Amino acid sequence: MCGIVGYIGKQTAIPILVEGLKKLEYRGYDSAGVAVLDQDGIFVCKSVGKLVALEDKLGDEYPSTSMGIGHTRWATHGRPSDLNAHPHSDCAGDFAVVHNGIIENYMELREWLVEQGHRLVSETDTEVLPHLVEHFYQGDLVTAVRKVLGKIRGAFAMVVLSRSDPDKLVAVRQDSPLVVGLGDGEFFVASDIPAILNHTRKTYILADGEMVILTRNRAEVTDFQGNPLEKDVFEVKWDAVAAEKGGYEHFMLKEIHEQPRAIRDTLLGRLSEYGVELQEVDLTAEEVNHFRKVFIVACGTAWHAGLVGKSLIERWARIPVEVDIASEFRYRSPLIDQETLVVVISQSGETADTLAALREAKRLGAHVVAVTNVVGSSVSREAHDVIYTWAGPEIAVASTKAYTTQLVGMVLFGLYLAQAKGTLSLEKIQAIVTALKELPGQAQEVLHRAAVIEKLAKSFVKVEDTFFIGRGLDWAVAMEGSLKLKEISYIHAEAYAAGELKHGTLALITEETPVIGIATQMDVYEKTLSNIKEVKARDAKVIGIAFEGNNDIHKSVDEVIYLPKTVSELAPILTVIPLQLLAYYASVARGCDVDKPRNLAKSVTVE
């Protein structure tokens, strides 16, 4: 997830671009850059670090021309650096491109371009774009861009600037957002509305498969084939702060709603008809077979993702797994040697305890794989292999889209290990791959139940204690659900293995303690149902979570949230969404500070 902006009009472009990028910094902030058309060609300025670093580099002595493009980056391919920052250029410096998304087939395109004599200098997938434009350009920028579109696969929004077409910007969208702003003799294009709000409120949103050609007089929209399209212009009514949250009241709610996209991006390019392809993990089948034990080490929500990971790896790859809280791990003399695989999970990649655990594991000779969301983070730099979760920046302290994408990461890695060990049949792998492809749409379906959950959450205003119960993977998700509720609504919540309640905790169940009973694991469904009946018999108000079709649950609970059916192993990715929404709406109903809960920080970089 990056932020892109383009401007063509009558004012000096650079201040407008930089101001637009500031509004998009929530989308990425590891490096930034601008390109404007100058008399001598294309002037490009870029810098690693936050936008202020770019501003410092630009100083006051920049070209005053009135058309350009800008980018604030959240690294995907290639670590944050000046060289990897956008805009990217072709060999001759005739074109500049900013891009948001992932070009899935960039490796093959890169090889092909090199064979054609192009010199690519960065580690990014984006850099193939200006070189492809250069390759196809025969006097018309729009035609060249269309030809490029016929070559690339993946998710992208891009804006192209050409030295030879000095009065034109071309922007396209496929699975990455792009809005067009209509001013008076000037046009804007950006990843999100806040970037243009200081200049115009008249806008339209490009749909997938659409292209806009901006000149100083008009904005012409076509499909990728060149057929003209009419767009409905609308007037933005939100203020700038609301717009940064995409119209949502809080970042957390926005991030909850981003999950279908985040799950899709994390799967992108990693599934094939034969299973999983994790090009970033450099382990041979022999090396995988050499591992006798796996440790998964993480903190908080990431630790909860690790609990799911344990179950998947043991079930699929038949390797014993221990899950450790990072702050405990290195002080308990873990039994690690060269036959140990350690998986660290961290959204930020900077959590001090997780980083220390990683270093300890390496010191003891383990092979370390990191699952992280931040390219260039300490964890990503120090691990032997990295599986990135393409959730995009997570701003709210309560982790949501990072968790679901960590679960996707663990599913992918579990399958990867199983493939290498030959412990799963092709049929089973294909069934999971098919189910994975359906997940983004199913996550969207769950989000459609938000209004029902909001209503349920209102009954939590006065609640002091609550319990989340489930068995197996449902128990792991119960832990995440209870953490969400605790951290943002300050309600005491506990997660229990449903079968363990009667060994003590049942004494705490009264009509004052709502219970969330999760029953998606079909092998223990009947048993979970019995445990739900046990709490119901103690007068607890029970909210059940189950797959569509398991209609008998409604007889044992007060309310049911039904989820679209998926394979049991993927259920946590959907089950957690109503729990996130419940915590969110309970927090709002109790008047808490949702995005910045008391006493907590987004990234814990101290021990």
Taking the least distance from each CB to ligand M6R, the nearer of 3 and 481 is 481
In one letter, which amino acid is 216? R
Taking the least distance from each CB to ligand M6R, the nearer of 6 and 376 is 376
The encoded tokens of residue 527 equal 């048993």
Least Cβ distance, residue 375 to ligand M6R (angstroms): 14
Least Cβ distance, residue 482 to ligand M6R (angstroms): 11
Nearest to 191 by CA among 240, 220, 157, 214: 157
Give the whole-angstrom CA distance, residue 343 versus residue 347. Answer: 13
Which residue do the tokens 């300890």 mark? Answer: 360
| 2 a catalytic residue | yes
Residues with Cβ < 8 Å from 166, sequence gap 6 or more? 37, 67
Taking the least distance from each CB to ligand M6R, the nearer of 97 and 252 is 252
Least Cβ distance, residue 346 to ligand M6R (angstroms): 3
DSSP at 569 = G
Residue nearest to ligand M6R (CB): 300
Residues that bind ligand M6R (CB under 6 A): 299-302, 346-348, 351, 354, 397-399, 483, 487, 603-604
Taking the least distance from each CB to ligand M6R, the nearer of 46 and 590 is 590
| 231 a catalytic residue | no
From the list 2, 484, 536, 541, the catalytic residue is: 2
Give the whole-angstrom CA distance, residue 355 versus residue 336. Answer: 16
Least Cβ distance, residue 475 to ligand M6R (angstroms): 18
Tell me the longest C-alpha to C-alpha distance in the chain: 80
Taking the least distance from each CB to ligand M6R, the nearer of 149 and 604 is 604
Taking the least distance from each CB to ligand M6R, the nearer of 191 and 346 is 346
Least Cβ distance, residue 599 to ligand M6R (angstroms): 11
Cis, peptide link before residue 87, omega less than 30° from 0: yes
From the list 147, 202, 362, 602, the catalytic residue is: 602
Q: Is 599 left (phi over 0), alpha (psi -120 to 50) or beta?
A: left
Which residue do the tokens 């390759």 mark? Answer: 135
> What DSSP line would sit under 31-54, residue for residue?
EEEEEEEETTEEEEEEEESSHHHH
Helix (H/G/I), strand (E/B), else coil: 99: strand
Sheet with strand 385-388: strands edge to edge: 321-325, 293-298, 340-346, 367-372, 385-388
CB 387 within 8 A of CB 343: no
Least Cβ distance, residue 371 to ligand M6R (angstroms): 9
What residues are annotated to the active site? 2, 602
